[in-house]
Structures are given as structure tokens and as C-alpha cells.
Structure 1
Amino acid sequence: MVYSSSFCKYIQLLVICIACLSAIAFADPPYTLCPNSTSYANSLFQNNLNTLLSLPNNASDSKFYKASSGNIPDEVYSLYMCLGYMTNEEYKSCISNAVEDIMRLCSNRKAALVWEENCKLHYSNRNFFGKLDITENIGKDNAQNISQPENFKSVANKTLINFTKEAASNLFSNMYGTKEVQFEDKPIYALVQRTRDLSANDCSRCLLKAIADILGCCVTSMGARLFSRSCYLRYEFYPFYGVEPDPFSSSADSEGKGPGGGRNIQMTYLCPWLLTKFSESNKLGQGGFGPVYKGLLSDGKEVAIKRLSICSEQGSEEFVNEVHLIMKLQHKNLVRLLGFCVDGEEKILVYEFMPNSSLDVVLFDPNRRAQLIWSTRFNIISGIAKGILYLHEDSRLRIIHRDLKASNVLLDYDMNPKISDFGMARIFAGNEEEASTATIVGTYGYMAPEYAMEGLYSIKSDVFGFGVLLLEIITGRRNAGFYHSKQAPSLLAYAWQLWNEEKRLELMDPLLTDSCCLDEFMKCMHIGLLCVQENSYDRPTMHLLLQC
């Protein structure tokens, strides 16, 4: 085969470029910090750690997460962060490598950190969330040096400091910022990034320390990186960063499909854009955590925007918990989280839009309840049960919702139910069956007795809440506030009374008389009463209920 001279020149140039890139390459990652003084030989700590290390693999469409598992003294905190410009496939691969390397290189350590090429994984037995840590920074430089290091040092110092101030003040809405400046006749490309839980002031301090470390160790080289526990800095003489994909574009919609049939979740910061969308005319409702608004994306897609009030019952921990949980869940009866935002005190969740609002809005409205004929109500009951079963048994993690109620069930265009509000949810690790808490959260009227009185919760707590919800659906009446009636002190007591007196059809919502299937109604009433039994051991599991 004969090659043209132009093709040969192209091959020669390509070989030279490859050689140059090899010459300036960094030392191979990973870079690890594994303190020798902290080790464990405790299976409970290991179980908690394994639980957390499985989360990012199950949520690999999010470039940042933090979570905790277990109780003191075996509690584990973990944080994962990818560089913001990475593609989906790159950060999926990076997170898998990080999990594998941290277990291999830092085995039996109660605290460890590993930096891969484009991501980091950090865990500890101490809570480090939102806390600045600029100790043991790792600086790495290229093998090839600058020809005029003194001139470059001055430019790099000024450029990076100005860039850092700008980035920290804006909190760079995508969690990272990039900048291009000229040095003589060559462009310099720089990037800074911080963990999302870092304040603006701490972000600035972290990046200034990174600059000082870079100037001290690596500023004479053709490129350098600074790996910190709380931030990241890099500069090069070539454009090493790309463009972050738009998670709401049509191409993103056509990518992978999750187990529930929906698109894979892409997390993004939307604060600057969303803050122009809050008006009373767009308000959909008001919950304990703050108002919910209707929004519109640039492609015309309708969304629901949950804005947490500053004095909300849901703090940062619950907010982050909700984000982490929902992005791991894919089921047709669970609401889909499309994006989120954290900007100072501003915390926002962006969900798929549910045009028929929440179940309580329809069910307890005398005028709207009529549209809930029996077949619709039965479908809603069945969908809620399937969603809870997925949380309890079919997802990789056993999740206890802890706040099942009518206002936390949303209805789509076809009145199909989707469970929402995972701010109070908890993950059960391993063979854990029951846990306790001193802080009782949730809604009275839906709480199981053992939880309301003793702080004990399990899958049977959710079963109780489901039972209350089921009885509300077939009666059209709230459990809370039933004491105003003269019939019984609560809806549950009234249902038991009618059951024992064999007056069971009197429990039926009068609006269901013409559409109700009596056999299905009796079955639902029976199931509801089984679920709200006082002793948790007597209640069935969701799996058994769906076998009925």
C-alpha cells in the first residue's frame, strides 16, 4: 500500500504529539491518605462502610453525594465527588475505581481518602460534612518545565488568586469553574472545584491554600494539580476540561433507561435560573418543609419545584438525605427527581410535574372527590403498595419512608400514584430489622404506636402508615380530625367498631355507592385493619399484602 506524503507527515506529527503528552504526564493515580493510627476490626463498622460504598455505584448519575450509616461508635460518613466536566461514562468508571481502590489500599482504616484521576472518595468515622480540611494536600506537577519559570510564577499567582476570588464569591453554580488566560503567546487553562457542602468563605480559604501549595511545589512545570480534602485546583497549557452535558436536553432523555422505565437521573445546580420563578401565581401548595411551585424548563418541560424555607422543619441533613435517596430509586410509583440546587440558605428540589396534585387535595375536597371512582381508588391503593414494597424489599437498599400520608402521594395525568418526600426516610443496612431514634419525625395520625411512643421504627411502621392511608382512601375521610365526629375518637377506632359489629359497608364513602366492587371494598377494609394493629409483629409485610 502506498501512502501520500501528506498522510505520512500527519502520522509523524501524531507520533510527536503522543511522545510529548507522554513526557508531561503525571504520576499515575490513585493518590491516597490512609491514617495508620485508626483501624477497625469490627464487623458492624464494616457493614456500615459497605452500605455506603455501594451507594455511589447505585447512583452513578450524580457527581456528588454524601451520606452516613449506622450509629455511634460504628457510624460511618462518606463523600464522593467527580470533576464537573466529566461525561456520564467517565464518572461511572471513576466511581467504580475509587470504591475498589479505597478498599484495597486503605483496608481496615476508620478514615481514608482516595483521589482518582477525575474523582475522589472520602470516608471517616467522624462527621466531616461541611467542615474545611486543608491538611495533607497533595500537589502533583508535570515532568516538563516552563522555559521562563519566574515570569510564569507571577502570572500564575495573579491569575489563580483572581480566579479563586471570583469562583468562591459565585460558588460556581455547577460546583466548579474554569478560566482561560494568556501567558506570552500561549493560553493557560485553569479549573477549580470544591465539595458542594463547603461555604463560600471556606471555599476561598481552601483554594487560597491550594494556590500556595501549587506555587511552592509545582509552579515551574507545564501543568499542575492540587488534591485537597475539600477542593481541587488544576492548570494546563491545553484545554483539558470539556462542557458539562445539559441534563434536560433531548439527548439526555434518550440515553439509558432506569429500571423503572424512566431516564437515568442527572443532577444539576439550577439556582440562578430557578430564583426568577417564585410567585404566588405559580404556587402549587404548602408543606411542612416549604412551598411547592410549578416551573417550566427551557425545553418546555413542566416541573414541580420544592423550595425549602429557611425555618423549614427539614434541615440540610434531611435535604441531602432526600436527594441521595431519590436519585438511587427507580420505580413507576415513586416520584422522579430531575435536579436540585443548594446556594447558601437556598435549598431546592426539582421533581417531575404531577398535574393532579397530591392525593389529599383531591381525596378530602367534597367537590373533587367524586372523580375518584372505585376503580381509580383501587388503582391508587395498589400503586402505593407496590411503591412501598419496592422500598422495603426490591431496591438494593431497604428504605423506611417514615412519613407515608395522603399529602406525600402525588397523582399523574392518569391518576397513577407516586410516593414523594423522602426527607425523613432511613436506610437499613444488612440484616437490620428495627432502629430507634430520640427525635420523632413524621405526622401524627399516621404514626405507628411503637414509633410515636418509643421512637422504634421498621418496615412495620410504614405498614401502619399504609393502613391509615388505605382507610382514608376508601372512606374519603381524614384520620386526623376524626375526633370531631361523634361516631368514634378516630377513623381507626370507627373502622374497628364497624368491623366487629358487622356493619362494614357503613365505612364506605357514600360517593362510591354506584361504582364500588363490594368484594374489593371488603378486602381493602380487612387489609387496612390488619395493617393498623397495635402490635407491630401482628402486622403483615407489604409482600404478604400483595399476595392477598
Structure 2
Amino acid sequence: MTCTRLVSFMALFLLLFVLITSISAQTPIYMYNFCNSTQKSLSTSYQSNVNNLLLWFNSDSATGKESNHTTLGNNDDAVYGSYDCRGDIADQFCRFCINSAINEISQRCPNGVSAVIWYDICIIRYSNQNYFGKVVVTPSWNITGSNSVKDSTEIGKAVDLMRSLMRKMTEANQSWATSELNWSDTEKRYGLVQCSGDLNNDGCTECLETLFDKIHLCCGTKVTWALVAPSCGIRFDDQLFYQLTENTGSSSPVPNPAKNEGASKSKTLIITLSSVLVAVALVCFCVFVRLRKGGLIFKNIPNAIHDHVQRDDSLDGDLPIIPLTVIHQSTNYFSESSKLGEGGFGPVYKGTLPDGTEIAVKRLAEASNQGLEEFKNEVIFIAKLQHRNLVKLLGCCIEENEKILVYEYMPNSSLDFHLFNEEKHKQLDWKLQLSIVNGIARGLQYLHEDSRLRVIHRDLKASNVLLDSEMNPKISDFGLARKFESGRIETKTKRVVGTYGYMAPEYAMVGVFSVKSDVYSFGVLILEIIYGKRNGEFFLSDHRQSLLLHTWRLWCEGKCLEKIHPIHKESYIESEVMKCIHIGLLCVQEDAADRPTMSTVVVMLGSDTITLPNPKPPAFSVTRVSDEEGTTSKSSKDNYVNEVPITIVSPR
């Protein structure tokens, strides 16, 4: 096909496309939902009432009413439901949005006792509790634009303008209003306020005022924003976003036939002009293609830009993207009361997703020691790894300069919180200690041998082992992990990263790492679990030796059990403790080749008959003599200890 024919064909095609686009410009966009679900099956009658309510939404919205609510059923099986569309939206688009929301909420909330779902132009909600006429402001969500305000006083000015719009709306006894707002001599702003149709003026005012009070928490630094709750919503923008009507701001806009005719002519003119412009653009495109074939286009594009795009794309894949607004709601806008702790990556917060799932939210600090590369690393690795002894990454968020990882919440904090606190350590009986050792071993075996990727963790330590509600261990923090190519025994790096006391000597000294580097760290961890002492902390004691060397001396003297806390001697089985100490010493031997693989470790832990080889002396432990080494988490809630990984750069 010649370029001229291509232009003619595409011009005709795009003429039709423009016509279709004018209809689909208001295609509803899913924004957010909240489900109050139950693990139990809903009663047949209540589920039937919910289904009938959704059918009622579908049929009643066809009447074009702006707001509707109804009750189906009686007593305990009654369901209360309503739908609303944004006031400026035409009836046919309202129906389209309601139908989309019905389908979506059926999939997202199959066992919902109550539910609410928002699209950009409509909302449907139902509950087993009568909410009609009541102000409901939770859950709420927000979106913000990318541009920041120039002056901190702008948010106050914006709220004042929106309050003025609210007053005009309620004085006119309307449920919604839009307005062009004078911002300065040269700038305009545009606003929309709306309340659900079941609220009276007082309830509407109360709902909107509640949202106004939240703006400074969520949106005060941005030029444009929207804040929405079940009973009301507000939007403030520097661009016109609502549909202009004869009576913009009225809840019942009346069309003007003469104006519609003029609008129709204008639309025809726009379509014609668009077609011409498209044809011109296609001619330019043909020239562009020829130039590109001649090598005149793209040859000077900086590699950095291309690399940047690839980096962003690499964060995609199987991992769900969680909107920032959902994370804001779940953590109460990263409030101090939600904060669990602070690590090298950045602060960590506890949150609750709309479906009730408790989460731990790791937020990359701007001056993070871990940084963007480690953030990417964590996403890429852990999204592809699934094992009962690895922490589960639920999703991530890359929005508005935020880089956030969302994990399953571990209510029993990290292992170091229990190990290195004497009172907490007393609660770890031998059966539980052995269970934790076995769980960590199985997790490492999966990483090294059984996963889709062959992964070396490189930062295994007590603070990177989390404990779930049943005290099952889960290895976390894959920011320093590396994929290990099949067939390779070891590799070398110029940038050595990890934590003092846990790094294998060959890695710490010359940058050589392998699966045996993780085995060494595991050996340190076994001995810390048994003795309840941190390797570096033990160095600072009167022994002036690392825990490893001191354990080796006790092993040679046959006194390994003497240093175990007396309270544990009531519960442990001596042969099992000695076997674990033996395995720990095998794992920390100086020569990496002498250390067992993790699959061998798992077999040794599970066997009572296997004969273990005699351990050789451990390597000199790389520890840091510092009074800070022995400190633990400052907060009892802390899932992540305040421990920053140490970076050692070896000579080039």
C-alpha cells in the first residue's frame, strides 16, 4: 500500500474512530471498592436479596434518575442499597457506569455483607444496616495530581472556594454543583461537590465538612485533588473536567434544543477538522518512517532514557499494583501511630486493606541506604518466589514519586526481637526454636535449589526472619538477593553488601559469594537461636571472642550445653541441641567447600541416625566492635529492626 493510499484509508478509518470516541469519551473507570466480607456463606435469602438488588440497580437506572435507594427483604435478611451518578453525567452514561459497577462488585465482593464500589462517574453500595439519611465517611479515598502548590496558603484558598460552592448548592436545595472558580487574574479553577441523594442539606453539609477537614492530610501539597466517601465527594482541578450543561450546577439540567443544534454543528466541524489533521499527521508519519529507515531518527536518543524505561517495565509482571490512595487509607496517611519501625530501606507501617487483610507497608525513603536498585530487586525476586517460609509480597506502588512494597503482616515481629530480649527469649521453648531452625532451612533450600530462580539471599540475619501468628518463620528482605546462574559455583563482586556478624569471610574480604555464603549466615543464626546471643554482642562481652569461636572452644572442651539459658534446659532434648550446634559449626567452617548445602542441612536436621562429619574450626567472624551492635528494636511493634545493612567496598 502506497503512502497516499494509506493516508486515504486511515483518514476514513479515523473519521469513524472520532465518531466512536465522542461516544466513548465518558467510559467509566474503576477507582476503588470496599467489601465487608465474611468467611461464612451468606444466608440464601440474604444473598438472594443482594442479587435482586443488583438487578434492581440495573433496571431502575434505565429511568435516568439521578439518585435512587431501596430496601429488599425483611428483618435479618434485609438489604439496603443505593446508586448515584455524578450530577453532570448524561443518563446513558450513568446507566453504562451502573452496569459496569454491578458486574465488578459481583466479582470483587462475592460474599459481601456490605459493599461499596466507586467509578469515576458513579457509585453503588449496599449493606445489611440501614444507612439511608446517615452520614457515612468511611472508607474514603483520594487522588491527587502531579503538580505541587507554590505556596502553602493555596490549600486554604482552595477549601474556602469549595466551601462557597457547597453553600450555594445547599441554599439551592441541590445534591450536586459544579463551578468555574476565579483563582487569579489569569487562572481559573474548577470544582465539583456532591452528596448522595438520601442526605438532606444538614447531612450533606456535615459530610462535606468532614472531608474538608481531611484535605490537608491527603492533598494539601497538590494543585488538583479529589476526596470521596460513601455519602459525598469533592473535586478541585485546574482543568475543566465536568460536562458543561445549560444549568451547570443544577441537579436536573434542562437541555436547550437550539444550543444542542449549535453543538451538533460544532461537533461536525470538529470531526471534519480532526480528519484533516489526522491526514496531515499521517503524511508526516510516512516521512517519519522513511527517515527512520534512513537512520536519521532515534540515533541520538540517550541510552539513559531507554534504560529508564526498561527499569520501570521490569517492575511489572505478576505483582499487583496497589493504588496509592488505598495505601493512604490503610495506613492513615502514614501516621506515626501506624509506624512499625525504620530500617535501611525506609519506614515500615502497619495497615489494613479494604477487605480486612492486615499488611506491612515498606516505604522507600528519599535518602534510603537501600535505594531504588534494591527496591527493584525485591520486587523482581520475591514476586516470582512462593514458599511457606518466605514472606509474601502482596503488591507494590510506584506513584507520585512514592516507591512502596506491601507485604503480608507478621504479627509476631521479627526473630531478633524475640532472640535478643531476655524475657522474650525465655518464651521460646526448645520445640519452637527447633521449628524455627527447620523453617529457615527449608526456605533457604527452596531459594538455592527448588525455586524457578536460583537465588542467593546475601543478607540472612535474625531481623530478616519474620514470624507469623503461629510463630512460623518467613525469610524476608530480598533487596540484596542475586540470581545465581545454573552450573556456576561462585561469583565475585566489587560491591560487598550485608551485615557484620553474618557475612562469610570469603565474601567480606574479597567479594566472592555463592550459596555457601548463605549457609554460613544460617550457621550463625542457628547458634544465635540456641544461645540467645547476637554474634557481635557476644564479642563485646567478657569473652572478647565471637559467638562462633567461643562455641568452637566449648565444643572442643565438651561444654556446649553450659551456656544455654537455664530455663531452656527444662524443655530441650540434649541430643537435638547438640546436633543443632554441630550443624551450626559445620555451616560456619572457614573453607566454603567444607560447608554443607542447604539440602544436606535439611536432611541432617530431620534425621536421628545420620552420622555428621567432624567440624573444622570456624572462620574468624567479621564483626564490628561497637556499643550499638547489641541494641535491638526500639519498639515492641517493630516488624523490622532498626538495623542498617553495612556496605563494605573492597579495593579495585
What TM-score do the two structures reach when normalised by structure 2?
0.45
Matched residue SS, 2:578: helix
Partner of 2:391: 335
Read off the aligned partner of 2:526 and give its amino acid letter: L
1:477 paired to 2:533: yes
Partner of 1:163: none
Matched residue SS, 1:310: coil
Read off the aligned partner of 2:520 and give its amino acid letter: F
Shift of 1:529: 0.3
Question: Across the two proteins, how many residue pairs are aligned to each other?
Answer: 320
| Counterpart contact for 1:270–1:339, Cα < 8 Å | no
Shift of 1:281: 1.8
CA distance 1:215–1:445, shift in 2 (3 Å):
farther
Which segments of 5 or more consecutive residues in structure 1 lack a partner in the other structure?
Answer: 1-19, 26-86, 88-168, 172-178, 189-211, 221-227, 232-263
Partner of 2:366: 310
- In structure 2, which of residues 339, 342, 350 is the aligned counterpart of residue 283 of structure 1? 339
- In structure 2, which of residues 281, 285, 289 is the aligned counterpart of residue 216 of structure 1? 281
| Counterpart contact for 1:403–1:442, Cα < 8 Å | yes
CA distance 1:434–1:170, shift in 2 (3 Å):
farther
In 1, Cα distance between the equivalents of 2:508 and 2:534? 19
1:266 paired to 2:331: no
| Counterpart contact for 2:385–2:452, Cα < 8 Å | no
CA distance 1:431–1:267, shift in 2 (3 Å):
farther
Question: For the aligned residues, what is the CA RMSD?
Answer: 3.6
Read off the aligned partner of 2:322 and give its amino acid letter: T
Read off the aligned partner of 2:367 and give its amino acid letter: C
| Counterpart contact for 1:270–1:340, Cα < 8 Å | no
Alignment of 1:407-446 (within 5 A): 407-446=463-502
Shift of 1:427: 0.4
Read off the aligned partner of 2:471 and give its amino acid letter: M
In 2, Cα distance between the equivalents of 1:449 and 1:483? 17
Shift of 1:280: 2.3
1:502-524 per-residue CA deviation (whole Å, 9 max, x = no partner) reads 11112423331111111110110
Shift of 1:444: 0.7
1:383-414 per-residue CA deviation (whole Å, 9 max, x = no partner) reads 00000000000001100000000000000000
Partner of 1:462: 518
Shift of 1:185: 6.8
1:30-73 per-residue CA deviation (whole Å, 9 max, x = no partner) reads xxxxxxxxxxxxxxxxxxxxxxxxxxxxxxxxxxxxxxxxxxxx
Partner of 1:357: 413
In 2, Cα distance between the equivalents of 1:300 and 1:419? 24
1:383 paired to 2:439: yes
In 2, Cα distance between the equivalents of 1:426 and 1:268? 26
Matched residue SS, 2:394: strand
- In structure 2, which of residues 552, 567, 574 is the aligned counterpart of residue 518 of structure 1? 574
- In structure 2, which of residues 599, 606, 619 is the aligned counterpart of residue 543 of structure 1? 599
Matched residue SS, 1:305: strand
Partner of 2:584: 528
Partner of 2:297: none
Shift of 1:332: 0.2
In 2, Cα distance between the equivalents of 1:437 and 1:214? 55
| Counterpart contact for 2:363–2:403, Cα < 8 Å | yes
- In structure 2, which of residues 350, 361, 370 is the aligned counterpart of residue 294 of structure 1? 350
Partner of 1:406: 462
In 2, Cα distance between the equivalents of 1:280 and 1:408? 23
| Counterpart contact for 1:289–1:312, Cα < 8 Å | yes
Shift of 1:299: 1.7
1:319 paired to 2:382: no
Shift of 1:180: 11
1:72-113 per-residue CA deviation (whole Å, 9 max, x = no partner) reads xxxxxxxxxxxxxxx9xxxxxxxxxxxxxxxxxxxxxxxxxx
CA distance 1:346–1:494, shift in 2 (3 Å):
same
Shift of 1:215: 6.9
1:280-306 per-residue CA deviation (whole Å, 9 max, x = no partner) reads 222222212222111111122110011
Of the structure 1 ranges 484-493 and 274-283, higher mean CA displacement relative to structure 2 is found in 274-283
Larger gyration radius, structure 1 or structure 2: 2
In 2, Cα distance between the equivalents of 1:170 and 1:321? 33
Shift of 1:436: 1.1
Of the structure 1 ranges 334-343 and 429-438, higher mean CA displacement relative to structure 2 is found in 429-438
CA distance 1:516–1:342, shift in 2 (3 Å):
same
In 2, Cα distance between the equivalents of 1:181 and 1:435? 62
What TM-score do the two structures reach when normalised by structure 1?
0.53
In 2, Cα distance between the equivalents of 1:297 and 1:393? 34
1:126-153 per-residue CA deviation (whole Å, 9 max, x = no partner) reads xxxxxxxxxxxxxxxxxxxxxxxxxxxx
Read off the aligned partner of 1:485 and give its amino acid letter: S
Partner of 2:554: 498
Shift of 1:428: 1.1
Read off the aligned partner of 1:365 and give its amino acid letter: N
In 2, Cα distance between the equivalents of 1:371 and 1:406? 17
Matched residue SS, 1:527: helix
| Counterpart contact for 2:457–2:481, Cα < 8 Å | yes
- In structure 1, which of residues 445, 449, 452 is the aligned counterpart of residue 505 of structure 2? 449
| Counterpart contact for 1:357–1:411, Cα < 8 Å | yes
Shift of 1:546: 1.1
Read off the aligned partner of 2:440 and give its amino acid letter: I
| Counterpart contact for 2:320–2:396, Cα < 8 Å | no
CA distance 1:330–1:308, shift in 2 (3 Å):
same
Matched residue SS, 1:403: coil
1:323-367 per-residue CA deviation (whole Å, 9 max, x = no partner) reads 110100010000001111223542211100000000001111112
Alignment of 1:96-107 (within 5 A): none
| Counterpart contact for 2:378–2:477, Cα < 8 Å | yes
Partner of 1:28: none
Read off the aligned partner of 2:282 and give its amino acid letter: C
Read off the aligned partner of 2:421 and give its amino acid letter: D
In 2, Cα distance between the equivalents of 1:438 and 1:170? 46
1:298-325 per-residue CA deviation (whole Å, 9 max, x = no partner) reads 1221100111211111111110110110
Partner of 2:312: none
Matched residue SS, 1:410: strand
| Counterpart contact for 2:319–2:396, Cα < 8 Å | no
Shift of 1:470: 0.7
Read off the aligned partner of 1:512 and give its amino acid letter: H
CA distance 1:471–1:185, shift in 2 (3 Å):
farther
CA distance 1:461–1:486, shift in 2 (3 Å):
same
Alignment of 1:6-405 (within 5 A): 216-217=281-282, 266-270=320-324, 273-274=327-328, 276-405=332-461
Partner of 2:642: none
Shift of 1:488: 4.2
| Counterpart contact for 1:409–1:419, Cα < 8 Å | yes
In 2, Cα distance between the equivalents of 1:214 and 1:324? 43
CA distance 1:372–1:213, shift in 2 (3 Å):
farther
| Counterpart contact for 2:429–2:568, Cα < 8 Å | yes
Percent sequence identity over aligned pairs: 53
Partner of 1:42: none
Q: Which runs of 4+ in 1 moved over 3 A?
A: 179-186, 212-215, 228-231
| Counterpart contact for 1:338–1:351, Cα < 8 Å | yes
In 2, Cα distance between the equivalents of 1:214 and 1:414? 66
Read off the aligned partner of 1:444 and give its amino acid letter: Y
In 1, Cα distance between the equivalents of 2:554 and 2:359? 43
CA distance 1:213–1:367, shift in 2 (3 Å):
farther
